[in-house]
Structure 1
Amino acid sequence: MRGVSPVLEVPFHPDESVDLDGFSDVVAHVLGTGVTSVMFPGFASEFHKLADDERRSLRDRLLDQTRARTDVAAIVAVQDHATAVAVRRAVEAVEAGTDAINLLPPYLLGPSPAAVRAHVRAVLSAVAPAPVVLQYAPAQTGTSLDAGTIASIASDHPNLAAVKVESTPPGALIAALARTTPALPSFVGYAGLQLPDALRRGAIGVQPGCSFTELYVRFWRLWQAGDEPAALSLHQRMLPYLSYWMQSVELIVAAEKLISLRRGLIRSATCRAPAHALDDGEIQLVDAFLQEFGPELASSVA
């Protein structure tokens, strides 16, 4: 689990029913960009709008396409608030063939710090030795964890393999985690807004959405090759769009789905209600993005 690890979107038909075959197409496309891991379901997957049976069916579609592959890891996310439910879902995912668990700590109704730690430890224990990525998204959840707390948990649970850092800014926590004993690797989220700084501070990759994965892969390869000026130039071109879309989760989900539709990756840009309705200016921004980056996306190869 390094480099670009996209969070998979879920296509819906215009009537808001899940497009399972469309999801399989999304998985196939993203795996074809050269990534070494993918994650589902996340905020970009509209996980909070999926029924349990839908999540299971989509998870199984993903694992059907990754289970036999040794070159890519499937990371299945667990966001359940109840510890017992989170444990059960995580164990089921591992038994189904997932390579790693992404764990979002509970946050509804303000659980105590001790309760959050107990929840995280319970899931880690239940799925050991399967690796777990701990997701830290304070802007979306309000859950606060510091590097010392996370390191303390990791010392007792070696399968805590990485942390997805979505604080703003993320750099300080990424650097602090890299200084713990043992060092804890980090992915940076939040569409990679602070990606260059995160990598300089020790991050091992980025978990963005999936509608233009190729641009993140290109950035990563340039960075790994030591061509920092070219990588920074690409990131700076992306920033005006990312900065606008990341004003809210629902906004970037809607924008990315429209990008995927325009690219022919999905058949409908439908988001399940309640959702953000892109206005004319926001649609024009998506079209400007595709006009600028379309040739690069079309010419990208794994």
Structure 2
Amino acid sequence: MTLINSSTKGVFVIAVTPFTDNGALDHGSIDRMVDFYYDKGADGLTILGMMGEAPKLTQAESIDVTRRTIARSAGKPVIVGVSAPGLAAIGELTKAVMDLGAAGVMVAPPSNLRTDDQIIAYYRNVVETLGTDVPVVLQDFPLVTNVQISTRVLGHIFEAHDSIVMLKHEDWPGLQKITELREAEAKGRRRTSILCGNAGVFLPEEMRRGADGAMTGFAYPEMMVDVVRLSNEGQFETALDHFDAYLPLVRYEQQPGIGLAVRKYVLAKRGAIASAAQRKPGAGLNAAAIAEVETLIRRQEARLATFR
């Protein structure tokens, strides 16, 4: 399998982890989901992320999901989230998934990091633990991790470690961070791939600021594919038109606490997975929320009809 690098572009969908109604891994739905994402135009997948319920899996289950996803991906790149409280666990899972053919691993900073020096030291230790031959995605998601990483600190880390080839950009507000990173590259710092998250809520603007694509899990990945493609073609107004058609559902999915339930409900409705179940703790949508989502989908379909 091809490894990710500092020039990697496109849409890497953050995959959900499918479970049966009783909380067991649903292997059939893993296959169906992988096919669904690629059928909608994804360039690759990222599994075991924060919206993939990774902390609810055992180490053996994480390896099982990775093996199944890579096998079904038929050579397309799969990035695996390996974040954990300790470096030993990160190192063990990384070795296992890279041996299975992963394209790279994603590591978020632990929430106890408070100073720039601590952040810099942490990623130095990560690279020392994994080895310089493993491509790493640095996940910058302060809304969840509570770790604030400045562009200066990111630049220091990127310059120090060539194996950190990609930034998963999820700062909010964070558009200026993309601009500053690209300006630093124009002045001579090495290039780093930037793929953006936050369910794509700022994707058109992120692309105009210089992002290389999306790494998030909105249940209509074709929206992200269209926005990235049109942006790369310089058709920014058309990209916004496509984005606007999906915006109400993107907005609804941003609600803290129920965002994953919304995403899984829609994916199940679209046939990508058999069940919208989350592994406990984690609840589904109530009747009122389901009715709201159904209304948003119906209205979205009406808007999309104008593009057909």
Per the normalisation by structure 1, the TM-score is 0.89
- Please report how far the alpha carbon of residue 286 of structure 1 lies from its aligned counterpart in structure 2 after TM superposition: 1.8
For 1:29, the equivalent position in structure 2 comes to 36
Q: 1:46 and 1:295, CA in 2 relative to 1: closer, same or farther beyond 3 A?
A: farther
Partner amino acid, structure 1, of 2:34: V
- Please report how far the alpha carbon of residue 112 of structure 1 lies from its aligned counterpart in structure 2 after TM superposition: 5.3
3-state SS of the aligned residue for 1:179?
helix
For 2:15, the equivalent position in structure 1 comes to 8
Give distance in 1, aligned partners of 2:218 and 2:105: 19
For 1:131, the equivalent position in structure 2 comes to 135
The question of whether the paired residues in 1 share the 8 Å contact of 2:116 and 2:153 is answered with no
For 1:164, the equivalent position in structure 2 comes to 168
3-state SS of the aligned residue for 2:42?
coil
Partner amino acid, structure 2, of 1:252: G
Q: 1:25 and 1:127, CA in 2 relative to 1: closer, same or farther beyond 3 A?
A: farther
Q: 1:116 and 1:82, CA in 2 relative to 1: closer, same or farther beyond 3 A?
A: farther
- Please report how far the alpha carbon of residue 19 of structure 1 lies from its aligned counterpart in structure 2 after TM superposition: 0.5
Write the deviation string for residues 266-298 of structure 1: whole angstroms up to 9, x where unpaired.
111111222244233321232123323458999
* Structure-to-structure mapping, 1:87-106, within 5 angstroms: 87-106=91-110
**Unaligned stretches of 5+ residues in structure 1:** none
- Please report how far the alpha carbon of residue 216 of structure 1 lies from its aligned counterpart in structure 2 after TM superposition: 1.5
Per the normalisation by structure 2, the TM-score is 0.88
- 1:278 pairs, out of 282, 285, 288, with 285
Q: 1:297 and 1:59, CA in 2 relative to 1: closer, same or farther beyond 3 A?
A: farther
1:259 aligns with 2:266: yes
* Structure-to-structure mapping, 1:226-245, within 5 angstroms: 226-245=234-253
Give the 4+ runs in structure 1 shifted more than 6 A: 295-298
* Structure-to-structure mapping, 1:13-92, within 5 angstroms: 13-66=20-73, 69=75, 72-92=76-96
- Please report how far the alpha carbon of residue 7 of structure 1 lies from its aligned counterpart in structure 2 after TM superposition: 0.5
Partner amino acid, structure 2, of 1:216: M
Write the deviation string for residues 90-139 of structure 1: whole angstroms up to 9, x where unpaired.
232222211111111112x4565444333322222423223211000101
Give aligned pairs, total: 294
Q: How many percent identity over aligned positions? A: 25
- 2:147 pairs, out of 130, 143, 146, with 143
